[in-house]
Structure 1
Amino acid sequence: MPTVNIYVDGFNLYYGAFRTRWPQYKWLDLQGFCESLLPGREVKRIRYFTAQVRNTPQNPGAANRQRIYLRALATLPKVEIHYGHFSTHDVRLPLANPPRNGPATALVRRTEEKGSDANLAAYLLLDCGRSDSDEAVVISNDSDFAEPIRLVRDALQMSIGVINPSQRRRSIQLWQAASWSYPIINERIFRSNQLPLQLTDANGTFSKPPAW
C-alpha cells in the first residue's frame, strides 16, 4: 500500500469547513479524518500547522478551547503539531471615504498570523526531498502554496494532491500546480470522524469544551 504524508493548514481548514459550514464538527479526529479522505493509502504522518490564538473581548474563551483541542490532537499517534505565532501592531491606513474636512487616515490595530505557511512549505519540501513517503497531500485552499507544490510535482517528480476544505471556489493556482485536487463536499466524513467527548493523556483526563 502506498504511503502518504498529509500537511494540514489548520486555519484554512477551520475557516473553510467549520466557521460557517459545519461548526458542530470542530472536535475533529484529524487522523481518522485523513485516513477516511485517502482510502487505499497508508497515512504515515500528519503535520498540522497552526498558531495559538489569543482571547478577545468578543471571544474570551478562544485560547482555552483551542488549547484543549490541540491537547486532544496530541493524543493521536500520527499527528505532529507545528506552531507559528500571531503578531499585533498598529498601522495607519487610508480611509475609503474620508470626510471633507477630516483626517484621510485611521490608526488600525492589525493582528496577523505568522509562520504557519512558511512552516508548511518547509516541511513539505523537506519530507518530499528525502522521500519520506510515496505521495504528499496538502489540505488547504491557499494559493501561496502553489509554488512549493509545483516544485514537489515537477522538480522532485512526486505525486502531490490538494484537498480544498472551503466551500468557496477552489484556487486555480493550486489546482494547476498539483498532481490532482478535489474539494471536501461530504458532511458525513466530518460527522463520522469525531473525537471521544472525554480523553486521557499523561496529564490526566479532559473533556471537549462545551462551546467547541
Structure 2
Amino acid sequence: MTKTIVYIDGFNLYYRALKGTAHKWLDLEALSKASLPSTAQIIQINYYTARVSGRLDPSGPKDQNTYLRALGTNPLIKIHYGRFLTAQKWSGMAPPVPSFRPTPVSKHIVPNPVVAWVWKTEEKGSDVNLGAHLVRDAFLKAFDEAAVLTNDTDLCEPMRIVKEEVGLPITLLSPVNAPHTSLVNVSTHVRHVSPYIGPCQLPSPILGNGKPIVKPQDW
C-alpha cells in the first residue's frame, strides 16, 4: 500500500465542478478513494477553503457551515482556512459601455475613464497554504505519494518541487475534463474526478456530536 495524502483546493473544486449542480454534499473521502488506485492508502485529506460572505447569497454562510460540520465528523479530513477580503475598487467596464461615467478623479484625465466602483471579493491564503503544506510534507517524507485536486496553475511550482526535487510521485486530480497543460507537466499521474462526484455524496442526515447534520435544502 502507498501512503497517500490528498490536498483539495476547495474553491477550485466548487467553481470548476460543483457550482450549479445537485452534488455539493460531496463525500471527500469517498471521492478520493474512487479517484485513486486501490493501492493508495489515504492517511489524510487536507481541505483548503475560506468562510464565504453572505453579501451575494444570504444562505451561503449557513449552508457552508453545515457542510464543514459534516466534513468535521470524518477524522481523516483536516480543514485549513484562508480568508475572504472584500473592498470597493475602481474597475474597467466591458463593452458595450453604458452611458454612465463617473466624475473624473483628476481634471487631467481626458476622456473620462470607462470605469465604475465595484465590490471585489478575493479569497486569500488557500493556495499558499496548500502549496506550503505540500512541500513541507514532501520534505518530511509524510507521504509516499501526494494527490492534489485543483486546476489552479499557482500550484505548479510546489507540485514541481515535490516531483523533481524531492523525487516523490504526485497525482493531479482534475476537476475539469481538460486540465491545464502546465499542471499535467508537473504531475506523475492525472486522474479525473468528474465521473465520481455524483455517486460520492454524504448521507443526510449525518450524525455529528450527537446531533443530526442535514444537507441544505437548496443543495
Deviations along 1:88-130, whole A, 9 cap, x unmatched? 1121133445679944122221000000010100110111110
1:120 and 1:12 map into 2 onto residues whose CA distance is 12
Q: State the match for 1:43 in structure 2.
A: 42
Cα drift, residue 185 of structure 1: 3.9
Q: State the match for 1:8 in structure 2.
A: 8
1:201 and 1:7 map into 2 onto residues whose CA distance is 23
The TM-score normalised by the length of structure 1 is 0.91
2:134 to 111, 119, 124: 124
Q: Is structure 2 residue 156 aligned with structure 1 residue 175?
A: no
1:94 and 1:66 map into 2 onto residues whose CA distance is 31
RMSD, aligned α-carbons: 1.8
Q: Percent identity?
A: 35
1:101 and 1:152 map into 2 onto residues whose CA distance is 51
1:53 and 1:124 map into 2 onto residues whose CA distance is 24
State the secondary structure of the residue aligned to 2:207: strand
Q: Which runs of 4+ in 1 moved over 6 A?
A: none
State the secondary structure of the residue aligned to 1:25: coil
Count of matched residue pairs: 206
Q: Is structure 2 residue 145 aligned with structure 1 residue 146?
A: no
The TM-score normalised by the length of structure 2 is 0.88
Cα drift, residue 204 of structure 1: 2.2
Q: 1:59 to 1:101 in 2, by over 3 A?
A: closer
User: Which protein is bigger by CA-based radius of gyration?
Assistant: 2
Q: State the match for 1:184 in structure 2.
A: 193
- Answer yes or no: is the 8 Å Cα contact 1:15–1:166 preserved in 2: no
Unaligned 5+ segments in structure 2 are 102-111
1:53 and 1:41 map into 2 onto residues whose CA distance is 32
State the secondary structure of the residue aligned to 2:64: helix
State the secondary structure of the residue aligned to 2:190: strand
